[in-house]
Each structure stands twice: as structure tokens, then as C-alpha cells.
Amino acid sequence: MKYLIKRAVGGALVVAFLLMSLDARSPITGLVVVAMAQETDDPVKIEVYTRFVNNRKTNETAAYQAATEYLKRYPKDKDQYTQYLQNWIVVYERDERKRTLPQLVYNAKNFAGAYSVGKQILADEPNYLPALIHLGYAGYLAVTTAKNETFNADAQAYANKAIQAIEAGKSPGSWLPFKDKDDTLAQLYYTVGFLSLKSAPDRAISPLIKAAQFETDLKKSPSIYYYIATAYESGPYKTMAASFQASFAGKEETAQSKLALEKLNVVIDLIIDVYARSVAAAGNDPANAQSKTLSSNKLAEFYKFRHQGSDAGMSDLITGVLAKPLPPKPQ
């Protein structure tokens, strides 16, 4: 009788394994297992393995717990069951990292954890687009919500790679947490530009302009135009103004100085344009009052410089500026 019980139990294990080997969820799909019924008198072994089988489709967390328990209890077993469980765990953990990443970024705002998990995901799948998107945008969130610039370089690299993939026709399956493709691209370009503002303002200009060209909420935000103006002011304007001052200040006008001033004025006019856009986009929303004041003051400063101290025409500029295309960065 004991022998019959052993055979029945062992046979149950083999049947379960055969069924599992045909599961598309398994990393060993289509494997044909030819195995003799294993005799065992260990009821715990049967219980743990059966718990895994019963849960693997309906409750993967419970199945994972059973699988890891089985391997912990029987680490020396080298049979088809342990091999299957090891393979299943690899797939489960890979998928679990993918599920966990957006939670770490958007809910927990655990950016160190997110980048750690993300790097594991990308080590397995270097072109996994959802991870590239989440890790790109996470750098922006880290700065704006936690004043953490640790991940700036990584975030820009991930965002740029995601942009290249999307513009080449790739799709992540779901665009969440963004609305759609354009919203995702706008936010990624915005992230690249925003994260470059402090260290490389000149490089921030083009991605910020690109972000503002998509028909998304960003295009209506005063902040994006303020950052474009800041990038112009901290980048090319600062460099060109310092060069002009050093080379031509207090000297008679020459063809060379006139050309340099013309180039400088082009940048000043672009600064005026984007500060005017920031003021216009702010409207009368109380939430934008502080940024509107800041942009208004900057606009008046540059506008008066270009118009002999007068602000005549500035209000008209503000009124109509958003109806005009956003000027590109000069070559």
C-alpha cells in the first residue's frame, strides 16, 4: 500500500510538470518531458509544489513564495522540478521588476530604487521602451520633487534613447502616465532640456523648443517659455555679451563690431519673444502669478534695452505672441 501511495504522489508531480511545460508563460515552452514517476515520502515537498502549481496562474505572488520555499528546502535537488522552478522564478522576477518600476517612480518617488531596478531591467532588455521612458522622466521628478540631481546624466541618456525609439516608430504598449505619443515625446524633450539648464544651457534650448511644439499642455505652460528664455540668457547671450564687451566696449564702431552686435541682438530678440510667451501663457491664473511677475520683469528689461528705454508696443507683443510660431534656435 505504501508503494502505491508513493507512485500516486510521484505521478501527480509528473503530470503537473507536464502540464506546466506547455504553458506559454513558461520560459521552457513546448518542452516535452519524459520522466519516470519520482517516489517520495516527503509530504511537505508535495504540498509546497502543489501550492505552486495551484497558484501560478491565479496568484503569482503566492506561487513565487511557494517556488522560493521549495528551492530553499531542497537546494540539492537537480531534477526537472527544481529546474522548472528556477526558470519560472527568473521570468517572474523579470516581470515583477517591470511592474515595480513605475510604482517606484510615480508613487513612491524612490528614485534610487527606481534606477537600481531599471538598470536590472535594461541589463536583460537594453531597448525595453517603458523603462527608458520611466527612467528618463524620473530624473525630472527627482529634481523637482526631491531636489536630487544625482540622476541627471542617466536620465538624459535614457530620455534621448526613448525619444529615438519612439520617433523610429516604437511604442511602449501603454503611454501612461502620459496621455499619448505626443505628450510622451513632449515630456521627454522637456526633461532633456530642463536637466541641461544648469550645466549646459546652450544645449537645453533645442529640446525645450521641441517640447513646446507638440500640441500638449506643455505648450500652454508659462514655465517652458521661461526656461527657454533662461537657457538663451544663461547660454549664448551671456557668452556673446561678454565677448562683445571685452572686444568692442568703448571703441569706435567697426564692421566687425557691428556684425557682432547684430548677432547679439538676434539672441536678445529671441529672449524677448519667449519671455513674452511666458507672460501670455500665464494669463490671469493666480497659480502663475509669481512666474508671470518674474517673466514680466525680465521682458521689460530686455525689451527696453532694444527700444531705447521705451516699452511702447510691449503689450501688443504679449497679446499676439502665442499666435506666432516659436522661433527656432539660430544656427
What tens digit of pLDDT does each residue of 185-236 get? 999 999 999 999 999 999 999 999 999 999 999 999 999 999 999 999 999 9
User: What is the residue extent of each domain of the chain?
Assistant: 2-96, 109-220, 247-331
Q: Burial code of 165-188, b = ≥16 C-beta within 10 A, e = fewer?
A: bbeeeeebeebeebeeebbbbbbb
Would you call 29 exposed, middle or buried from its count of C-beta atoms within 10 A (0-12, 13-18, 19+)? exposed
C-alpha 66, offset from chain centre: 34
pLDDT, mean over the chain: 88
Number of neighbours of residue 87 by Cβ within 10 angstroms: 14
What tens digit of pLDDT does each residue of 234-276 get? 999 999 999 999 999 889 999 999 999 999 999 999 999 999 9
DSSP 214: S
Quick check: 98 pLDDT over 90? yes
Q: Are 268 and 260 in contact (CB under 8 A)?
A: no
